[in-house]
């Protein structure tokens, strides 16, 4: 299983977290502790902490963002490469779409973790920062997709829509 497939799986588990569930990030794959009386015993036994779990979630989100960013960078060279390169990029682009959707869905799991840990203000802020990183990236990526579509696939797209998307990208980069 490739790194991006592991990342996709972990994002899927994160998206599936419900309110009052606890996330287990020990090992290569995330899992969920549903509410039980023995849950705290297992968490103590595995020496898990909230902070440690959120650090691993943040690394997973970072890996997803890095993957999409690298594929986007590679697509800029696609016009000068061979058919094999273009096929490779096509498959990677499909993975990008899956990763972007998994990031969108992971926000719901993070919302549920915020509800679960509502009594820990510092931890809630950490989760909200991770959510902000995801939403900022998704907004920038959406705007860039619109620019790409307008210049490559749909040159007839209204110029004001293109300008709005470009302005959004510049605003995101400034922040």
User: If 0-12 CB within 10 Å is exposed, 13-18 middle and 19+ buried, where does residue 30 land?
Assistant: buried
SS3 46: coil
- Distance, in Å, from the CA atom of 147 to the CA atom of 165, rounded to the nearest integer, reads 6
| pLDDT given for residue 62 in this prediction | 96
State the pLDDT at residue 151.
45
Residue 154 zone, left/alpha/beta (φ > 0; ψ -120 to 50; rest):
beta
- The beta strand positions in 11-153, using DSSP E, are 22-24, 31-33
CA terminus-to-terminus distance, the chain: 36
- In a structure prediction context, what are the per-residue pLDDT tens digits for the chain, which is 175 residues long? 789 999 999 999 999 999 988 888 888 999 887 766 666 666 666 667 788 889 999 999 999 999 988 887 776 655 556 777 777 777 888 888 899 999 999 999 999 999 999 999 999 999 999 999 999 999 888 766 655 544 444 444 444 454 555 565 556 556 5
Q: Looking at the chain, how many residues does it have?
A: 175
What pLDDT, on a 0 to 100 scale, did the predictor assign at position 157? 44
pTM, two decimal places: 0.76
């Amino acid at each position: 299983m490739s790194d991006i497939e592991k990342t996709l799986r972990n994002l899927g588990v994160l998206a599936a977290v419900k309110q009052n569930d606890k996330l287990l990030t020990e090992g290569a794959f995330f899992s969920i502790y549903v509410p039980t009386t023995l849950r705290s015993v297992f968490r103590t036994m595995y020496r898990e902490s909230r902070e440690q779990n959120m650090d691993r979630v943040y690394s997973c989100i970072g890996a997803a963002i890095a993957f999409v960013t690298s594929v986007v960078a590679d697509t800029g060279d696609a016009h000068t490469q061979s058919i094999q390169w273009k096929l490779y990029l096509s498959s990677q682009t499909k993975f990008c779409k899956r990763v972007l959707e998994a990031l969108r869905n992971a926000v719901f799991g993070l919302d549920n973790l915020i509800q679960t840990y509502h009594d820990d203000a510092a931890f809630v802020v950490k989760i909200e920062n991770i959510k902000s990183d995801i939403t900022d990236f998704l907004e920038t990526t959406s705007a860039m997709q619109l620019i790409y579509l307008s210049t490559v696939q749909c040159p007839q797209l209204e110029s004001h829509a293109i300008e709005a998307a470009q302005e959004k990208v510049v605003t995101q980069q400034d922040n």
